[in-house]
Amino acid sequence: MTSADSERSLDWIDTSLLVVFLVGLYLGVSLPITSKIPLTCAPSGFAGLAMLWRRRDQIRPTHLAGLFGVIALYLGSIFTAADYSFLGKRATGLLQLTYSLIIGYALFLTMVQGQRKQVAAILLGFCVFIIVGCLLESYAGLRPISDWVREKIFESAYVYDADLRDEILYGKVRPKLFTSEPSAVTFSFTHFCSIWLVTSPWRYKIVVYAGLVGAALIVMPGPTLVLMLLLAIPYFIFLSGTVDGVRPGSAATRLIGALALSAIVLGVAVWIGNMFFAERLKELADGKDASFFYRFTGPMLVAFEMFDKYPWAGSGLTGEPFIADDVINVYMNAPGFQAAWKIPKIGDVLTNYFWLHWIYLGLIWGAVIFAGMSGWLRILGVPSVLYCWTCWAILGQASGAYVGPKTWAVLFTAAAVSIIATRPAHPRPTELPVYPALLANRRRAA
């Protein structure tokens, strides 16, 4: 580690841009560029471009080679997908994906320049803000203001209208806190808390994390929060216990300890699910939970259909129109699907970006691009690619929009915090070079 590493720090401009980027991810507000191409998570886009400019000196040719290589793989996937009449739609998806990867890379470059305490403080600040804001919305009259802001920033976009269902399932109207729907609040809270757990240097951060989980379950209940416990598992297995860049003990000992702790966490997650979401689980068991079907069961079944029908390149990026009939056929014949459930748009019933990866790319290109992206993460210096992908896959169960910034911000923030958490806190002394003249004097003295 060099002295420059020990002097890493975010100035007020970097901090402000990072906050704006996270706000953009939280709100998910889009600006239309053309009638068919929106600028998704617009504040994140503007902040990301500013970050990229400020961190231009940290951009390495190998980084760019990795980025262009990944984009080239996606380009290959859309050119090998069936039916070229959908090429324009797929090209639009590639453009949106490229935008998301570029600003995600900018976010990564900025975050890794921050000190561990700095990044942890920003993330914890967001988590506390969300909890306090939800409390104010539910109990202190903030809801009218929140609803007014939501109407202004989302306009004709989808706005959540299932408050009556929430009152039946959760006994309350769930807070939306300026976002389009309650799941957007719980997703952001889950994401930010999970990466705070990795970056925080606090000795008893697990206790604080458990407290955040409990507070969220009370203030903004939703099944996405159970993922907070699952997200602790990859941290325990791949990153926890690192001190000055080294994980003490043997690999076998660390793995056994991490697995034991993970088993406990998994048991707690199951218990919490049964305790807090009994009505939701009953709906699921009775085949009445359309939301769960559209988020998990349905996309998984469609992915398997793509493996069988289009194994080489799937539907192509954002290829929902191409496979609309296949999706409807799979859903209508799936156990647990009810014909009364509405399917307004095919994209609205495929809300799982992990399975969308396989739906869009098929088995072959999906595996190739996973490998290519993993290679790029290695080039970026990520200590555990498996940690990044595990976090990405877990959070994918609660979000769609595969080509959007939120999806890839999950991967890049995981990459950044894994580096921050395992980076030596203090520079190690390096040996001084032995100059030829000094070496000659030593030989004569001997």
**pLDDT tens digit sequence for 341-376:** 888 889 889 999 999 999 999 999 999 999 999 999
Residue range 259-280: average pLDDT? 65
Residue 363 confidence (pLDDT): 97
Q: Which residues pair with residue 32 across a beta bridge?
A: 38
How far apart, in whole angstroms, are the C-alpha atoms of residue 198 and residue 135?
26
171: helix, coil or strand? Answer: coil
Average confidence score pLDDT of the chain: 86
Q: Which long-range contacts (CB under 8 A, 24 or more apart) does 37-40 make?
A: 37/92, 37/95, 37/96, 39/99, 40/96, 40/99, 40/100, 40/401, 40/404, 40/405
Alpha helices in 112-204 (DSSP H): 116-139, 143-154, 163-170, 182-199
**pLDDT digit string, tens, across residues 49-64:** 999 999 999 999 999 9
Q: Tell me the pTM.
A: 0.88
**pLDDT digit string, tens, across residues 93-102:** 999 999 999 9
Residue 173 confidence (pLDDT): 86
Does position 442 have pLDDT exceeding 50, yes or no?
no
- Residue among 343, 347, 361, 365 nearest 401 (CA): 347
Least confident segment among 46-50, 220-224, 239-243, 440-444: 440-444
- Six token digits for residue 153: 């920033």
Give the Cα-Cα-Cα angle 351, 403, 134 (nearest 5 degrees).
Answer: 55
Residue 341 confidence (pLDDT): 85
Least confident segment among 128-132, 159-163, 171-175: 159-163
- Quickly state the pLDDT bin for 274 (edges 50, 70, 90): low
Residue 273 confidence (pLDDT): 61
Percent of the chain with pLDDT over 90: 62
Residue 153 confidence (pLDDT): 85
A 10 A CB-CB count for 88 gives 10
38: helix, coil or strand? Answer: strand
Does position 70 have pLDDT exceeding 90, yes or no?
yes
Residue 144 confidence (pLDDT): 92
Residue 176 confidence (pLDDT): 93
Q: What are phi and psi of 214, to 5 degrees?
A: -60, -45
Q: Which residue has the tokens 């808390």?
A: 193
Exposure b/e, 24-38, CB count within 10 A at least 16 = b: bbbbbbbeeeeeeeb
Tell me the torsion sign for CA atoms 232, 236, 239, 245.
positive
DSSP state of 297: I
Q: What are phi and psi of 131, to 5 degrees?
A: -65, -50
- Quickly state the pLDDT bin for 439 (edges 50, 70, 90): very low
Does position 431 have pLDDT exceeding 90, yes or no?
no
- Quickly state the pLDDT bin for 280 (edges 50, 70, 90): low
Residue 277 confidence (pLDDT): 59
Least confident segment among 110-124, 262-276, 424-438: 424-438
Q: Which residue has the tokens 């000094």?
A: 438
Does position 262 have pLDDT exceeding 80, yes or no?
no
How far apart, in whole angstroms, are the C-alpha atoms of residue 18 and residue 117?
14
Contact partners, residue 57, CB within 8 Å, separation at least 6: none
- Quickly state the pLDDT bin for 340 (edges 50, 70, 90): confident
**pLDDT digit string, tens, across residues 297-327:** 899 999 999 999 999 999 999 999 999 999 9
User: How many angstroms separate the Cα of 360 from the Cα of each of 357, 373, 429?
Assistant: 5, 16, 49
How far apart, in whole angstroms, are the C-alpha atoms of residue 125 and residue 164?
31
Does position 242 have pLDDT exceeding 80, yes or no?
no
- Quickly state the pLDDT bin for 9 (edges 50, 70, 90): confident
Top pLDDT among 263 and 132 is at 132
- Quickly state the pLDDT bin for 150 (edges 50, 70, 90): confident
- Six token digits for residue 281: 């689980």
Does position 165 have pLDDT exceeding 80, yes or no?
no
Amino acid at 86: F
**pLDDT digit string, tens, across residues 180-210:** 889 999 999 999 999 999 999 999 999 999 9
- Six token digits for residue 354: 């992990």
- Quickly state the pLDDT bin for 254 (edges 50, 70, 90): low
Percent of the chain with pLDDT over 70: 81
Residue 106 confidence (pLDDT): 98
| Whether 51 contacts 110, CB under 8 Å | yes
Residue 438 confidence (pLDDT): 39
199: helix, coil or strand? Answer: helix
